[in-house]
Structure 1
Amino acid sequence: MSHPQEKGLLYGLDDRIGPAPAFFAALQHVLASVVGIITPPLIIGSVLGLQAYIPYLISMSLLVSGLGTFLQARRVLGIGAGMICLQGTSFAFLGVILSGGLMVKAQGGSPEEMLAMIFGCNLVAALIPMLISRCIAPLRKVLTPVVTGTVITLIGISLIKVSITDWAGGHHAADFGAPGNLALGALTLLVIIVLNRAHNRWMRLVAVVAGIGVGCIAAALTGHLPLKPMADAHWLVLPTFLRFGFNFDWTLFVPVALVSVICVIEAVGDLTANCLISRQPLTGEGFQRRLQGGILADGISCLLAALFSAFPNTTFAQNNGVIQMTGVASRYVGMVIGVMLVLLGIFPVIGDLLQQIPPPVLGGATLVMFGSVVAAGIRVMTQSPLGRREMLIVAVSFGIGLGVEAVPDVLKQFPPLVSHLFGHAVTTGGILAMLLNVVLPSELPQPVTLNAAEKSPDA
């Protein structure tokens, strides 16, 4: 039975859930995130010329994502938030990893040497979220609701751009923005909305899966589902401990460490949104323990990623939207998601099948989820009335953060590292919100003055 604060959810955080509803709820999380998990190794492998290792890097990304997600949900010895916190590589790491890999390549390094350097620096950087997790109490004084709410909202807005791009056909699509693509995404979205508003519990549980299913059928009937060739990979892939060896360079480590700190800020926002959507308290010792466990588990996930040849992991934001849509916050679903992702990593042919889903269908399905992340951020931000000081923090953070992301050329006169780090709304807006929150003095309460009528008890 759900606790009172979990009213409105089909399954609360600690509610046991049957195998069938757990499977369908978990499947929707996997469908919403699998592309985000496999895209970073795909981009890094393509840019650095690691084509021979891309299938292995993708498999390890899925495997480590599954292990980290299971750990977050299971919460062992205080490690983990005890919630559905799906793990994956943040796109914030792409720029610094590519820069480091290209640096090694320019020095004549082989693909194996590039990977040894990247995973070696990531291994050391994994200690950063672990150390920060021990200092959550003072960090909470900086990350007030107006700051975390701003970060969550910026995360959601950034994700919506990904959804719209998919809806229109995906990056570099020849028919980008074609009416057929937009109609497919709209049909998928419509099915999800209708089923989500149904009174039947099962309809709400399978809303996203059903929407994607209907979208795929419509795509097949209209010729929008061309089957891509399956990757020439083994049916079974097993992890190898430090497969490419270990190397370290301060030049690569420093920017990776900086991004790790930024990702902790993002993770605090994601975990706060998750607590809000899962109907958990946003204050008190219990909330602080969830943040500590969640950030610590992020660090452990990064450590596992470096050991098993995957890129750094952090808590994904899009899955908060899935919790909102399905009404299922049970952490037992998080464990099922973890097992599913591990199986996708070990048996890559399943992941290849999921990649057949047309981008417009995926975009229509994820748009409402990512929109839910924006809504959650606004709710966190407006927990208490926004005064002039808070409005100024939000205005400057949104204005500069979204402005830099909309016009990335504004940073082109700076070194590439600066544009990689601060060319994203979440990074720039989040850091600005924190700085302004510390620098701007709090408004003192105005003294209450009584007029003559109010002073007189006989008035």
Structure 2
Amino acid sequence: MSTSQKNSDLLYGLHDRPAPLKALFAAFQHILASFVGITTPALIIGGVLGLGSELPYLISMALFVSGVGTFIQAKRLGPVGSGLLCVQGTSFAFLSAVLAAGFIVKNRGGSSEDILAMIFGVCFFASFVEIFLSRIIHKLQHVITPVVTGIVITTIGLSLIKVGMTDIAGGFGNEEIGAAKYLIVGGVTLASIIAINRLRNPVLRLSGIMIGMLVGYITAYFMGMVNFHIPDVAIISVPMPFKYGFNFDLAAFIPVAIISVVTAIETTGDLTANSMVSKEPTQGPLYLKRIKGGVLGDGVNSCLAATFGSFPMSTFSQNNGVIQLTGVASRYVAFYIGGLFILLGLFPIIGAVLQTLPKPVLGGATLVMFGTVASAGIRILASAELDRRDLLIMAVSFGLGLGVVAVPEVTNSFSPLFKSIFGSSVTVAGLSAILMSLIIPQNMATEAEEQVSEFTVEDEQTHIA
């Protein structure tokens, strides 16, 4: 009996092989759902750090490594990979830390090559954090709790909103920033995404960000904001290991390493959801093997990304919705997805065309994406059973994390190294949450609350008497 017959609500189960045409159609659905998410981080990082000449290659490698990573996750090479239909893509969680690493070099007067050498060197070493954690991921739930994860993810989203809003206003370094034409285009893009998201057609909703950006692009064209000049690029983009060199800085490494820890936990949740929609076990030896392999795959793929010139990889949770929509959970579809992404990544003209995207269009889309990241963190916090201890950890972590961004002068007395480390809201919030979770015992908070509850009951009984 086939997997699809056993799981009647799936057209194709994990180990079923759809016909090539059906598999290709399902693969296109996944590509529509993830293409913008994969390419946008490179556009943001390149735009903010002034890496325009390198953008076509960076976007090509984002697509190329996503294709390779998706194949590895589904194929499972030895212990590496989950064996699920699990799409890999560039992670938004690392954006703020990567930008901070880039600014360390940029503020020293470094060139584009110097900036990228630092970013990819730091990301290369940070990938081994996740590789190591994959072996002990089942033991981390006691340290990286939902409260810690929720705090870090919320802080990441909130810290990135400034980037999206700046793009809506015209982009960094624009002398006309805040001009009405920019706000109109950004507003049209944002409104289009919201409107499409409210439609009942699930296929349109999955492509909502892409369609919204297209509407914004057309609006920008009629307002004279589109420059169709496409720079000369090579016909084929050949992946080159460490094309920009290799560098390392401890202050740049620590924020990326912290996010690697949280990403490992986040990937565990994504793979659990993937197993559920694929009608596969969510507990037991097979499940644990897939989780360890999937997190290891995340780390290995992030290592490959840093090697070939892309940013850290992670599983894409939105593709779990595609599995539910299509009823196709076959891991063989991932081979088509991986192949198509690899082909797209070999042609830098795609990156050159995306480079013509006006900043307000990109900002209208990323504002939604970053807000979604923050909302995901809030949802994690809301799902946890919060006690007074958790609320205290949240209050201090958010206060310190967002405080260093609001008042950066607070680090003026720090050494340059510590100033770079503690100038990051994600680092401060993450370290605060982890340290307080370790220092403040859970049982003491519980006992205190029980005592308060007992006193309250006694007071009520006395009052009634």
In the superposition, relative to structure 1, how do residues 343 and 225 fare at CA in structure 2: closer, same or farther (>3 Å)?
Answer: same
Find the aligned partners of 1:358 and 1:116 in 2 and give their Cα distance.
27
For 1:249-278, what per-residue CA distance to the aligned partner results, in whole angstroms no more than 9, with x for missing partners?
Answer: xxx365565445313223135426646876
CA RMSD of superposed structures (Å):
4.5
What does residue 407 of structure 2 align with? 407
Deviation at 1:39, TM superposition (A): 5.1
Deviation at 1:18, TM superposition (A): 5.8
Find the aligned partners of 1:402 and 1:273 in 2 and give their Cα distance.
26
In the superposition, relative to structure 1, how do residues 387 and 161 fare at CA in structure 2: closer, same or farther (>3 Å)?
Answer: same
For 1:288-341, what per-residue CA distance to the aligned partner results, in whole angstroms no more than 9, with x for missing partners?
Answer: 656533432232124324543x2562438xx55787799869776876664454
The correspondence of residues 292-441 of structure 1 with structure 2, limited to 5 A, is: 292-308=292-308, 310=309, 313-315=312-314, 320=317, 338-441=338-441
The correspondence of residues 96-135 of structure 1 with structure 2, limited to 5 A, is: 96=101, 126-135=127-136
Find the aligned partners of 1:206 and 1:314 in 2 and give their Cα distance.
21
What does residue 37 of structure 2 align with? 32
The correspondence of residues 158-197 of structure 1 with structure 2, limited to 5 A, is: 158-197=159-198
Residue type at the aligned position of 1:239: P
Find the aligned partners of 1:13 and 1:429 in 2 and give their Cα distance.
39
| Matched position secondary structure for 1:86 | strand
Residue type at the aligned position of 1:371: G
Find the aligned partners of 1:275 and 1:242 in 2 and give their Cα distance.
30
What does residue 239 of structure 2 align with? 239
What does residue 271 of structure 1 align with? 267
Residue type at the aligned position of 2:405: E
CA contact (8 A) 1:149 1:381 kept: yes
What does residue 457 of structure 1 align with? none
Find the aligned partners of 1:163 and 1:172 in 2 and give their Cα distance.
14
For 1:186-230, what per-residue CA distance to the aligned partner results, in whole angstroms no more than 9, with x for missing partners?
Answer: 222222222222222333233222211211111111212232x32
Residue type at the aligned position of 1:158: S
Find the aligned partners of 1:52 and 1:192 in 2 and give their Cα distance.
29
| Matched position secondary structure for 1:382 | helix
Deviation at 1:145, TM superposition (A): 1.1
Deviation at 1:362, TM superposition (A): 1.9
Identify which range, 405-414 or 229-238, moves more after superposition.
Answer: 405-414
- Give aligned-pair identity as a percent: 37
For 1:66-105, what per-residue CA distance to the aligned partner results, in whole angstroms no more than 9, with x for missing partners?
Answer: 42344346554443454334135934245557768999x9
CA contact (8 A) 1:262 1:427 kept: yes
What does residue 208 of structure 1 align with? 209
CA contact (8 A) 1:197 1:204 kept: yes
For 1:119-139, what per-residue CA distance to the aligned partner results, in whole angstroms no more than 9, with x for missing partners?
Answer: 777656543321222121332
In the superposition, relative to structure 1, how do residues 170 and 397 fare at CA in structure 2: closer, same or farther (>3 Å)?
Answer: same
Query: 2:423 matched to 1:444?
Result: no
In the superposition, relative to structure 1, how do residues 379 and 127 fare at CA in structure 2: closer, same or farther (>3 Å)?
Answer: closer
Deviation at 1:434, TM superposition (A): 0.8
Identify which range, 135-144 or 277-286, moves more after superposition.
Answer: 277-286
Residue type at the aligned position of 2:267: L
Number of residue pairs matched by the alignment: 435
Identify which range, 322-331 or 399-408, moves more after superposition.
Answer: 322-331
Find the aligned partners of 1:232 and 1:41 in 2 and give their Cα distance.
17
| Matched position secondary structure for 2:173 | coil
TM-score by length of 1: 0.76
Deviation at 1:353, TM superposition (A): 0.8
Find the aligned partners of 2:239 and 2:460 in 1 and give their Cα distance.
79
Residue type at the aligned position of 1:355: Q
For 1:15-51, what per-residue CA distance to the aligned partner results, in whole angstroms no more than 9, with x for missing partners?
Answer: 98764464255234222341312555777795xxxx9
Runs of at least 5 residues in structure 2 that lack an aligned partner in the other structure: none
TM-score by length of 2: 0.75
